[in-house]
């Protein structure tokens, strides 16, 4: 049975993962409106990853005898000044998520909830990848600044990204 303090904290993070998904979908909408369909695709894949993360929290809460509780979410921003500004916002947001995951790990240790601490290790590793992926696009956008056609080449490349759920053993 999961403790109330951990249950509440995991529910809070589950809702934050849904908020994260909404941010990425809002970014996708702006890129679609700009006819940058590859960048939009990258953000839609990121949206799917965040939904996957949210469902991991949902499933874990249920497995531990807790209950997933959904709260009203704030609306995400809808406009960014440039593709670079959107990706920089995404990196800043992922760093917030990393901090939140780290706080959950600390709480699980303080509460001596080893099952939750173990569950959260997947997210610790995932956040390293999340930040790295966004930063890689930021670096490409910076390198392409001022080079005619470079954004369109990057857009084409990012359009190839697909969501692949982790293998069963990796998703635990």
- Residue at token pair 């593709």: 83
Residue 45 makes CB contacts below 8 A (sequence gap 6+) with 161, 162, 163
Q: Is the model's pLDDT at 146 over the cut of 60? A: yes
Tokens of 19: 């908020």
pLDDT band at 171 (very low <50, low <70, confident <90, very high): low
What average pLDDT does this structure show over 102-112? Answer: 98
Calculate the average pLDDT of the chain.
95
Residue 128: its pLDDT value, please?
98
Tokens of 68: 């997933």
Residue 38: its pLDDT value, please?
98
In whole angstroms, what is the distance from residue 51 CA to residue 73 CA?
Answer: 14
pLDDT band at 147 (very low <50, low <70, confident <90, very high): confident
> For 3, which DSSP code?
-
Q: Is the model's pLDDT at 148 over the cut of 80? A: no
Give pLDDT tens digits for 12-58: 999 999 999 999 999 999 999 999 999 999 999 999 999 999 999 99
Q: Is the model's pLDDT at 117 over the cut of 70? A: yes
Options 1.10.3720.10, 2.40.30.110, 1.20.1260.10, 1.10.8.10; CATH of 4-70+79-158: 1.20.1260.10
Decide if 30 contacts 89 (C-beta within 8 A): no
Residue 166: its pLDDT value, please?
82
Residue 21 main-chain phi, psi, to 5 deg: -60, -45
Would you tell me how many other CB atoms lie within 10 Å of the CB of residue 145? 11
């Amino acid at each position: 049975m999961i403790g109330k303090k951990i249950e509440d904290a995991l529910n809070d993070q589950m809702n934050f993962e849904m908020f994260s998904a909404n941010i990425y979908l809002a970014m996708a909408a702006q890129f679609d409106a700009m006819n940058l369909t590859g960048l939009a695709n990258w953000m839609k894949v990121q949206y799917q990853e965040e939904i996957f993360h949210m469902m991991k929290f949902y499933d874990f809460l249920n497995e531990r005898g807790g209950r997933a509780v959904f709260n009203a979410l704030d609306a995400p921003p809808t406009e960014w000044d440039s593709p670079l500004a959107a990706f920089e916002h995404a990196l800043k947001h992922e760093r917030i998520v990393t901090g939140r995951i780290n706080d959950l790990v600390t709480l699980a240790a303080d509460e001596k909830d080893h099952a939750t601490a173990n569950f959260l290790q997947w997210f610790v590793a995932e956040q390293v990848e999340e930040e790295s992926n966004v930063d890689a696009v930021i670096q490409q956008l910076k390198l392409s600044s001022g080079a005619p056609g470079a954004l369109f080449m990057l857009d084409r490349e990012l359009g190839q990204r697909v969501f692949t759920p982790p293998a069963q053993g990796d998703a635990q």
